[in-house]
Amino acid sequence: AAGVIQSPRHLIKEKRETATLKCYPIPRHDTVYWYQQGPGQDPQFLISFYEKMQSDKGSIPDRFSAQQFSDYHSELNMSSLELGDSALYFCASSSGAEDTEAFFGQGTRLTVV
């Protein structure tokens, strides 16, 4: 079965640079979530989208922005990167219409040096 696809899998950036993370949800899923997981921590919710509109917002820094496109894929844009942004970034998708829970992608490991 198709899963959530995230790209890239690994990313190394320098401080103050920008990064763009991409997420392709499971086909027919209309909802996308972004989470940040630091080393040894639980996942922290950043933001979610339902049918291309922002659905819920968590502890997303103002330096980050995200959107969901017409084909339901989503991108997380991160600017003015800081060392503390180094983490595993998960995307998850679900279907409100089909009442399915959130399935997670394999994550993008971002390292800021």
Closest CA to 49 of 80, 19, 71: 71
Q: Which residue has the tokens 């086909």?
A: 27
**Segment 5-44, which members bind other proteins (CB under 8 A)?**
31, 33, 35, 37, 41-43
CB of 45 to other proteins, least distance (A): 4
| CB-based contact 57:49 (threshold 8 Å) | no
CB of 113 to other proteins, least distance (A): 20
- For position 106 contacting other proteins by CB under 8 A, the verdict is yes
Side chain identity at 37, as an amino acid letter?
Answer: Q
User: What is the C-alpha separation between 32 and 23, in angstroms, rounded?
Assistant: 8
* Residue numbers at the binding site for other proteins (CB under 8 A): 31, 33, 35, 37, 41-43, 45, 48-50, 55-56, 58, 88, 90, 92, 94-96, 99-104, 106-107
